[in-house]
């Protein structure tokens, strides 16, 4: 394993706490940090509305601490670096989020996230806290074949769920309706990622995986989980020609569909590269008669300084388009267009 | 003979020391298949367990506090699985001031069942269960034949080490390692290795006692 890349931290064991203190100090009007380490809205949602909660390993910023606020989620339970928070902490998050209409616990499908959320729901049941539901979300087509979608893992495409479910839960809707909406967005979303160079684990200082200088890996997970397709480095257009058709064919997205497109930077891509990549995405979608409704290009779910990106498509109808266009005010991720 | 809460605390200190000294090696194993933090996470978890269990009076409380600390301090799948292991064990010896070797065997058996259920895993899936299950089976078998407790623990630790080694030939069915596919073969599962370290530390505690 190679040594640490240059990284500006203080003591490795203080990374999480210092990051949390920094983000709430930077955006005190949007979020605050509770004594038990939860990120909550500075101004809670009105009573009588469904609350949205998510726990996740940290290290993927701005996900999810940047996605707490009006139009996004209500409470984030940040775990250790790349490790889901434990069940007691998730229960604390559920209690902190409750606004009288139930709590939906969203789980980005990874073994640790799922096990801890399941245990948290068991603890809630033991404590007599009802009106809590869980929804498991996934989008990565490389992690399990078509037909085994529930075995797929959650990656950057879940951003579509965070945004549109967040908007939906600001309205007068029930817990059951929120869960159905989360599933609807999930079931219309497909993603595929590629890694060019690894990130480093900020605690251990080790690079997260080995990849030769002239190699890329298609299907890389958000924690450096090894994908299935190592191949030689290629041009931006060639890479999109490899990655986009399997995404389109998986749902499948067909002529006449309207889609949201996300190109998510894993941590150290340039805007220039991302736009060159999107240019080719737009060309292919155009050739196939698929209309791009809106695009979202930038770093939203990262893996430290990993170079690479995830390409995600979400098919939208009028209901979803309205939800996408609703304002969302998170710490450093904001959507204000009408 | 009986096993007291002080023994359990002594075993936890021994496990903590063993994990701490192998932390980097566990990280390296995990890096091949996961995100390379198993050693860091588990050493941090057990270090907190030592503090959390200092005041615990009965054996069940020691294990229950260990479980809650591991779950909430480590998080991730390791926290959930190690937490479940200790929690199920604690539940089995609830309210006992002292535990017998038979209780000790049975509590690990309950813990092992809990891990399999929580992780929806089976033997051969390249998980911690591949070290845990043979260790617990060996312990049960040796205790039932009446060999001394310290020898039975030594055999259990050896079984765990063989179990951990056997994961090198396996393809993973769960967690992040699943996505490596055939490339997992040749790499040892970090969770199985930490279980082997745990049983060896427990065995050494009784040898040195």
Between CA B44 and CA B159 the distance in angstroms is 26
> Along the 338 residues of chain A, how does pLDDT read in single tens digits?
455 568 899 998 899 999 999 999 999 999 999 999 999 999 999 999 999 999 999 999 999 999 999 999 999 999 989 889 999 999 999 999 999 999 999 999 998 999 999 999 988 988 899 999 999 999 999 988 899 999 999 999 999 999 999 999 999 999 999 999 999 999 999 999 999 998 888 887 888 878 889 999 998 776 766 666 789 999 999 999 999 999 999 999 999 999 999 999 999 999 999 999 999 999 999 999 999 999 999 999 999 999 999 999 999 999 999 999 999 999 989 988 65
Residues of A with CB under 8 A from a CB of B: 1, 13, 57, 79-89, 110-112, 115-116, 118-119, 142-143, 153, 201, 203-204, 206, 208-209, 219, 221, 223-228
Which of A80, A92, A215, A217 is most worth mutating to test chain B (most B CB atoms within 10 A of its CB)?
Answer: A80
User: Chain-centre distance of CA A21, in angstroms?
Assistant: 22
E strands in A37-177:
39-41, 51-58, 75-81, 103-108, 132-137
Which residues in chain A are contacts of B37 at CB distance < 8 A? Answer: 81-83, 201, 203-204
CB contact under 8 Å between A226 and B180, yes or no, is yes
Domains and CATH numbers, chain A: 12-187 (3.40.50.10440), 189-335 (3.30.1180.20)
What's residue B153's pLDDT?
A: 98
| Minimal-distance CA residue of chain A relative to B28 | A1
Angle at A37 between CA A36 and CA A40, to 5 degrees: 105
Report the distance separating Cα A83 and Cα A79, nearest Å. 6
Q: Do A259 and A313 form a contact (C-beta atoms < 8 A)?
A: yes
The set of residues, in sequence order, having a beta carbon less than 8 Å from that of A80 and lying 6+ positions away, is A16, A57, A58, B41, B44, B74, B75, B76
pTM of the complete model beyond 0.80: yes
Catalytic positions of A, written as ranges: 60, 223
Residues in B touching A86 (Cβ below 8 Å):
71-75, 79-80, 83
Q: Which domain holds residue B149?
A: 5-208
**φ, ψ dihedrals at B67, nearest 5°:** -60, -50
Letter string b/e over residues A49-61, b meaning 16 or more CB atoms within 10 A of that residue's CB: bbbbbbbbbbbbb
CB contact under 8 A, B75 and A84: yes
Mutate to test the interface with A, among B20, B28, B69, B75 (most CBs of A within 10 A): B75
User: From the CA of A144, how many Å to the nearest CA of chain B?
Assistant: 9
**Parallel, antiparallel or unpaired: strands A51-58 and A31-33:** unpaired
CB-based contact A115 B77, cutoff 8 Å: yes
Q: Reduced to 3 states, what is the DSSP secondary structure of residue A42?
A: coil
Specify whether the backbone of B175 is left (phi greater than 0), alpha (psi in -120 to 50) or beta: left
**The total number of structural domains that make up chain B:** 1
Question: Which domain CATH number covers B203?
Answer: 1.25.40.340
Alpha helices per DSSP H over chain A: 15-26, 87-97, 111-126, 159-168, 175-187, 236-250, 271-287, 318-325
pLDDT tier, B31 (very low <50, low <70, confident <90, very high otherwise): confident
Tell me the mean pLDDT in the region B2-21.
Answer: 96
What residues contact B156, with CB distance under 8 A and at least 6 apart? B135, B136, B138, B139, B142, B199, B203
pLDDT in tens, B39-85: 988 999 999 999 999 999 999 999 999 999 999 888 889 999 999 99
């Amino acid at each position: 394993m190679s040594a640490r890349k240059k990284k500006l931290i203080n003591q490795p064991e203080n990374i999480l706490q210092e990051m949390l203190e920094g983000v709430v100090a930077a955006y005190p009007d949007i979020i605050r940090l509770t004594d038990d380490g939860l990120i909550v809205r500075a101004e809670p949602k009105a009573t009588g509305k469904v609350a949205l909660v998510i726990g996740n390993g940290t290290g993927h910023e701005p996900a999810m601490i940047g996605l707490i606020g009006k139009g996004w989620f209500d409470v984030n339970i940040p775990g250790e670096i790349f490790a889901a928070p434990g069940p007691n902490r998730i229960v604390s998050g559920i209690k902190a989020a409750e606004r009288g209409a139930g709590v939906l616990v969203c789980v980005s499908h990874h073994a640790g996230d799922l096990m801890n959320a399941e245990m948290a729901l068991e603890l809630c049941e033991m404590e007599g806290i009802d009106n809590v539901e869980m929804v498991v979300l996934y989008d990565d087509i490389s992690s399990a074949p078509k037909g085994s979608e529930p075995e797929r893992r959650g990656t950057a495409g879940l951003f579509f769920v965070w945004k549109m479910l967040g908007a939906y839960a600001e309205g007068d809707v029930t817990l059951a309706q929120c869960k159905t909406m989360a599933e609807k967005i999930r079931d219309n979303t497909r993603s595929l990622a590629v890694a060019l160079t690894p990130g480093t684990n900020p605690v251990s200082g080790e690079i997260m995986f080995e990849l030769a200088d002239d190699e890329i890996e298609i299907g890389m997970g958000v924690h450096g989980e090894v994908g299935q397709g190592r191949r030689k480095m290629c041009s931006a257009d060639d890479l999109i020609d490899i990655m986009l058709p399997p995404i389109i064919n998986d749902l499948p997205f067909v002529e006449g569909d309207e889609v949201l497109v996300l190109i998510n930077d894993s941590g150290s891509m340039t805007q220039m590269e991302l736009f060159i990549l999107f240019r080719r995405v737009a060309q292919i979608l155009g050739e196939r008669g698929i209309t791009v409704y809106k695009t979202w290009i930038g770093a939203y779910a990262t893996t430290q300084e990993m170079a690479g990106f995830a390409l995600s498509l979400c098919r939208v109808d009028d209901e979803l388009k309205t939800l996408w266009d609703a304002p969302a005010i998170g710490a450093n991720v904001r959507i204000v267009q009408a | 003979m009986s096993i007291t809460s002080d023994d359990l605390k002594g075993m936890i200190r021994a496990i903590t020391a063993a994990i701490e000294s192998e932390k980097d090696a566990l990280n390296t194993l995990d890096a091949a298949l996961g995100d390379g933090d198993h050693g860091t996470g588990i050493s941090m978890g057990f270090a907190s367990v030592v503090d959390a269990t200092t005041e615990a009076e009965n054996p069940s409380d020691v294990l229950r506090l260990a479980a809650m600390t591991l779950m909430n301090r480590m998080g991730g799948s390791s926290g959930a699985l190690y937490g479940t292991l200790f929690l199920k064990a604690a539940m089995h010896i609830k309210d006992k001031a002292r535990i017998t070797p038979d209780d000790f065997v049975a509590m690990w058996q309950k813990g092992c069942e809990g891990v399999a259920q929580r992780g929806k895993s089976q033997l051969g899936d390249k998980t911690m269960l591949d070290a845990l299950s043979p260790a617990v089976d060996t312990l049960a078998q040796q205790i039932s034949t009446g060999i001394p407790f310290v020898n039975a623990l030594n055999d259990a630790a050896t079984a765990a080490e063989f179990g951990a080694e056997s994961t090198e030939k396996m393809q993973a069915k769960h967690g992040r390692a699943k996505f490596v596919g055939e490339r997992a073969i040749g790499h040892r599962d970090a969770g199985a290795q930490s279980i082997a370290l745990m049983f060896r530390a427990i065995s050494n505690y009784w040898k040195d006692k």
